[in-house]
Amino acid sequence: MFKKKRDLPITRYFPFCFTNHEENAMDRCKYVYEGPIVIFDKCICDHWHGETLAVSESKAKSNLIYQCKKQCNLVPGTKVTLPGKIKMVH
């Protein structure tokens, strides 16, 4: 079918460029967190707001903790907990 290497479809060499992100977004739900941030058992913020798209609540919690660490300029190994409720928004 293909005679030379250059005749092969480009998706074989760069499959990550042609994934359909819109299909993956349909599997995810929007999660919202509004509440305190606790670092090493010490509350550093009484009311923080974060949003994310995720396939599960546990992944959403992980994403929100990552966002919190980035916004607060914390190192990745910092123990951050979100004691409030994470709500799924339809």
Q: What is the pLDDT of residue 33?
A: 97
Span 9-47, pLDDT tens digits: 555 555 555 555 555 566 899 999 999 999 999 999 999
Point out which residues pair with 53 in neighbouring strands.
30
For the chain, the domains span: 28-89
Check pLDDT > 70 for residue 88: yes
| Sign for the pseudo-dihedral over CA of 32, 24, 26, 18 | positive
| pTM to 2 decimal places | 0.72
Using DSSP's 3-state secondary structure scheme, residue 44 falls into: strand
